[in-house]
């Protein structure tokens, strides 16, 4: 399992004068498909033992994506974790998992919380199509 224990902070948005919570903006580069950069927005509280589970993710092609990179990734239906970050001292973690949609030749990145919050597991999805990259393979016609 490939993981990055932290990512680069690239921004912070205050939620107001009377709160200790901020929206933190982080950037991560996929450790295998280095031509993909994801930006994640999540709420972090300075004086709390547990951060909220909400997060948003947006991933884009920011460099070359090669067939060699795609050949190295986990092609299973569950994909692989490429990033994780502790959100609580109570075992809550935010993870980002890469899953490859082979039929549509698209990388999917799903951000999710490992602990149920208010009856729901929070998650967000972003996709990066391989179209117009060196890794794109023309679909084979049905015989």
Query: Tens of pLDDT along 52-65?
Result: 667 899 999 999 99
Query: Counting beta carbons within 10 angstroms of the beta carbon of residue 131, is it exposed (0 to 12), middle (13 to 18) or buried (19 or more)?
Result: exposed
Which one, of 50, 48, 70, 53, lies nearest residue 61 by Cα?
Answer: 70
CB half-sphere exposure, 31, CA atoms < 13 A = 16
Evaluate whether 113 touches 96 at the Cβ level (below 8 Å).
no
Query: Tens of pLDDT along 81-110?
Result: 999 877 555 566 889 999 999 999 999 999
Provide the phi-psi class of 119: left if phi over 0, else alpha when psi is between -120 and 50, else beta. Answer: left
Which one, of 113, 108, 97, 111, lies nearest residue 130 by Cα?
Answer: 108
CB half-sphere exposure, 7, CA atoms < 13 A = 26
Please tell me the least confidently modeled range out of 14-28, 40-54, 57-71, 123-137.
40-54
Q: Give the Cβ contact number of residue 57 at 10 Å.
A: 22
Position 3 pLDDT exceeds 50: no
Which is higher by pLDDT, 4 or 117?
117
Position 122 pLDDT exceeds 90: no
Please tell me the least confidently modeled range out of 10-19, 28-37, 43-52.
43-52
Please tell me the least confidently modeled range out of 17-21, 42-46, 74-78, 117-121.
117-121
Position 89 scores a pLDDT of 56
**Distance separating alpha carbons of residues 10 and 135, to the nearest angstrom:** 29
């Amino acid at each position: 399992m490939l993981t990055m224990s932290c990512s680069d902070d690239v921004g912070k948005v205050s939620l107001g004068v009377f709160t200790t919570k901020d929206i933190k903006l982080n950037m991560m580069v996929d450790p295998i498909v280095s031509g993909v950069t994801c930006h994640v927005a999540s709420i972090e509280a300075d004086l709390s033992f547990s951060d909220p589970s909400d997060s948003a993710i947006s991933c884009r092609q920011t460099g070359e994506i090669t067939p060699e990179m795609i050949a190295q990734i986990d092609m299973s239906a569950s994909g692989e974790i490429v990033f994780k970050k502790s959100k609580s001292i109570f075992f809550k973690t935010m993870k980002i998992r890469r899953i490859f949609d082979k039929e549509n030749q698209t990388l999917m990145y799903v951000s999710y919380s490992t602990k149920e919050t208010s009856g729901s597991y929070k998650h967000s999805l972003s996709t990066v199509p391989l179209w117009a990259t060196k890794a794109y393979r023309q679909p084979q016609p049905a015989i």
